[in-house]
């Protein structure tokens, strides 16, 4: 009982900082061992579920300028993006919703972009830690292959100030980031006031080769630049009264973007595209935590409200013909909340929770020529509620911690309204996970669960965005499908870990299997003479594969790695197949990579003034094969990033980071067929190198 109470006390202190129970409760399984809190590998070992932790040193070694860039570089994830719609990523070769991103334990709504947009643009130094969790649970559900929890640094009462300036080049475009932060407090009150200004400049360099059914082949080159200016104000206030805690987190995000690109074919200019966008997001989040003596537990509460607006204006000016105009205005309002109770009973850690969210969105789209515009309006609304219970039971062995059995049940209800139609989705999702420390340095983990994943609002919206240039099956208009059904998912995972070097190094292997009924992929159709791509329930799908991971430090490989060196490597071998009911064939899932791998080395001896690191990422050929309808491949090459940090004085660092040193470009080739007609599209994008120089001081 004493062990369980100590476990719960440290757990609930972490909950007050906004962290999920599944992410931190496990870290204190051996509550008297402070090492389990401080060391990321030890925390991974004693976690009830599959978890990998990146602390501040690990985050710095990734070299990302912003939180979104850190997310894009995390080992085991691929095809991460840092676009206007916020942070995103994918895993295990699944492009759609395979990664669930939390912010201090907060689950996003179907929109999900707003908290991630604000947090994703913050400097990487604002992150305290990042947690990657695999396997099913009642807390996180089973629909996402990987859950990523971004833990933002909590304010400290100790007065401090910091300034950070980054300048550099992405290709030949200048970039700038300026960040200042003031922090302080007295007694039980702490606050931090960070202000960030980003000036992103990104070159546009695309090459395309097209072939149409008439046999005409055309080469096209697009050159231009994409500029974004951002201002992020994200203060945080923490109040304590004994064991009672309250955190208030308002944030304001302003974004102004401009894209200009010029298209040419055969050396002759054919069109100029201009796009201007403006975004504003205001958000307020409050977290409270308090002990409940009557049940010997702790209650956590969270409430967040958001108001966001965005406008995008696009003009396409051909050398000959009429200009095309498109404008989209979007306003979104969001209210989310949760309540949870955590309680230790003997060797059991019990959690009850309620979650709810209401999201409304209004879209107004104008499209046509400069003189004739068609106006479309569309309203969407989503209301969701969930209740879940989880029991983490630790037992067995001399210390009573050989086994940890985590059982749970999650009940979700969702109501979505798109235009005049409504849909209701309910799901009861059981889950079971086991951790077994079957030998002194070995841990086996396995989990099983099922659940339901509803479509996103964007996938239900009938609003169609017209393709930028020609309209073909390979460059279609994009739209949603109001009648889309939810996916039904079943998952199983099993993995083993071997710990080395006094728990500071680990080797891991994991196998996974997933079955999805009513699997959603994007499909093509000819609608009134224009090709439109929309999501559809194409049939049943199966995803499976193996993941291998290595984390080693110099203590585990004495004489092989220099003192202060650490090595991290991952390899994912994903496989997927779909029983396509529409085509009547069994095929691979769209955009499935042959493999995804990463290798990183960090040299940071204790007390050294010079630190450096290198990271290599490679994705094998990504394939699409929809019978004779569509065939495609994508090759992204190998990316190498490096960074060197020199301490100029106590509290003052100078850092040089280089990204994509090999100039790797995305190369793609696709062929589409419709009866006896054939279209071909091949091209390459990107390849720009980035150099960033950062001067940072803290006092």
| Per-residue pLDDT tens digits for 312-335 | 999 988 888 788 888 989 899 999
pLDDT at 158: 87
Are residues 54 and 75 in contact, defined by beta-carbon separation less than 8 angstroms? Answer: no
Query: 524: which 2 tokens?
Result: 């093509």
Question: d(Cα 373, Cα 386) in Å, to the nearest integer?
Answer: 43
What pLDDT was estimated at residue 400?
A: 81
Quick one: tokens of 603? 């040299």
Residues 6+ apart with CB under 8 A from 353: 139, 338, 339, 340, 341, 386, 387, 388, 389
- What is the model's pLDDT at position 605? 82
Could you say which residues of the chain have pLDDT below 70? 1-38, 79-88, 109-116, 370, 419-420, 502-503, 558-559
* Alpha-carbon gap, residue 218 to 210, rounded angstroms: 5
Beta bridge partners of 364: 329, 377
Angle at 152 between CA 310 and CA 281, to 5 degrees: 15
DSSP string, 236-285: EEEEEETTEEEEEEEEEEEEEEEEEEEEEETTEEEEEEEEEEEEEEEEEE
CA atoms 499, 504, 509, 512: torsion sign: positive
Range of the domain at 255: 2-361+370-698
pTM score > 0.85 for this model? yes
In the block, residue with structure tokens 């080469």: 219
Tell me what pLDDT residue 550 has: 93
Q: What is the CA radius of gyration of the chain?
A: 25
Total tally of structural domains belonging to the chain:
1
The per-residue pLDDT for range 180-222, each reduced to its tens digit, is 999 999 888 999 999 999 998 889 888 989 898 888 888 888 9
CATH number, residue 330:
2.40.170.20
Pick from 432, 437, 412: nearest CA to 424:
412
> What DSSP state is assigned to residue 157?
S
| Residues contacting residue 226 through CB under 8 Å, at least 6 positions apart | 200, 201, 202, 203, 204, 257, 258, 259
């Amino acid at each position: 009982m004493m062990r369980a109470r100590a476990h719960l006390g440290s757990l609930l202190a972490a909950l007050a900082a906004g962290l999920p129970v599944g992410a931190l409760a496990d870290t204190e399984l051996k509550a008297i061992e402070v090492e389990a809190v401080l060391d990321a590998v030890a925390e991974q070992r004693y976690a009830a579920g599959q978890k990998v932790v990146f602390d501040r040193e690990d985050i710095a070694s990734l070299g990302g300028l912003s939180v979104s860039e850190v997310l894009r570089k995390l080992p085991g994830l691929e095809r991460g993006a840092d676009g206007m719609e916020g942070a995103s990523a994918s895993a295990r070769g699944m492009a759609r919703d395979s990664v669930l991103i939390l912010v201090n334990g907060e689950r996003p709504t179907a929109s999900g972009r707003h908290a991630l947009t604000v947090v994703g643009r913050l400097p990487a130094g604002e992150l305290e830690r990042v947690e990657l969790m695999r396997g099913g649970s009642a807390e996180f559900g089973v629909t996402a292959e990987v859950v990523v929890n971004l833990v933002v640094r909590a304010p400290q009462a100790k007065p401090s100030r910091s300034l950070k300036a980054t300048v550099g080049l992405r290709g030949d475009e200048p970039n700038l980031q300026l960040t200042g932060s003031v922090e302080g407090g007295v007694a039980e009150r702490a606050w931090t006031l960070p202000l960030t200004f980003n000036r992103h400049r990104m070159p546009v360099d695309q090459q395309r080769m097209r072939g149409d059914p008439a046999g005409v082949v055309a080469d096209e080159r697009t050159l231009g630049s994409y500029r974004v200016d951002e201002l992020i104000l994200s203060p945080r206030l923490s109040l304590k009264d004994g064991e009672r805690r309250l955190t208030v987190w308002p944030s304001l995000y302003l974004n102004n973007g401009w894209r200009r690109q010029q298209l040419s074919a055969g050396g002759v200019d054919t069109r100029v595209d201009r796009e201007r966008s403006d975004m504003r997001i205001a958000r307020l989040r409050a977290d409270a935590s308090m002990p409940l003596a009557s049940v010997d537990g702790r209650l956590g509460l969270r409430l967040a409200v958001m108001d966001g607006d965005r406008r995008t204006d696009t003009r396409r000016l051909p050398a000959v013909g009429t200009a095309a105009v498109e404008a989209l205005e979007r306003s979104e309002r969001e209210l989310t909340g949760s309540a949870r109770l955590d309680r230790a009973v003997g060797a059991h850690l019990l959690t009850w929770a309620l979650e709810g969210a209401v999201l409304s969105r209004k879209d107004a789209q104008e499209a046509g020529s400069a003189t004739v515009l068609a106006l479309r309006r569309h309203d969407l609304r989503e209301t969701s509620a969930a209740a879940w219970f989880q029991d983490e039971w630790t037992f067995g062995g001399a210390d009573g911690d050989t086994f940890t059995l985590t059982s749970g049940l999650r009940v979700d209800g969702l109501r979505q309204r798109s235009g005049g139609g409504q849909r209701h989705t309910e799901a009861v999702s059981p889950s079971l996970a086991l951790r077994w420390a079957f030998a002194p340095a070995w841990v086996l983990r396995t989990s099983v669960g099922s659940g339901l994943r509803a479509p996103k609002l964007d996938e239900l919206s009938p609003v169609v965005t017209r393709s930028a240039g020609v309209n073909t099956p390979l460059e279609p208009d994009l739209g949603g499908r109001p009648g889309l059904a939810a996916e039904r998912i079943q998952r199983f995972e099993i993995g083993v870990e071997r710990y080395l070097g006094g728990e500071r190094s680990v080797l891991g292997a994991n196998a996974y299997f997933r079955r999805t009924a009513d699997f959603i992929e994007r499909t093509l159709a000819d609608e009134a003479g224009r090709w439109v791509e929309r999501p559809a329930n194409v049939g049943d799908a199966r995803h499976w594969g193996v993941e291998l991971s290595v984390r080693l430090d110099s203590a585990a490989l004495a004489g092989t790695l220099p003192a202060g060196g650490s090595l991290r490597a991952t390899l994912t071998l994903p496989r997927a197949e779909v029983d396509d009911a529409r085509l009547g064939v069994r095929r691979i899932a769209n955009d499935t990579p042959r493999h995804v791998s990463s290798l990183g080395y960090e040299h940071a001896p204790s007390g050294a003034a010079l630190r450096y690191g290198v990271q290599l990422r490679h994705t094998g050929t990504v394939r699409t094969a929809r019978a004779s309808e569509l065939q495609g491949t994508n090759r992204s090459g190998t990316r190498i990033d490096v960074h060197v940090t020199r301490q100029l004085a106590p509290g003052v660092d100078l850092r040089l980071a280089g990204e994509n040193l090999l100039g790797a470009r995305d190369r793609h080739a696709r062929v589409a067929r419709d009866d006896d007609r054939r279209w071909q599209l091949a091209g390459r994008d990107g390849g720009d190198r980035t150099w960033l120089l950062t001067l940072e001081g803290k006092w």
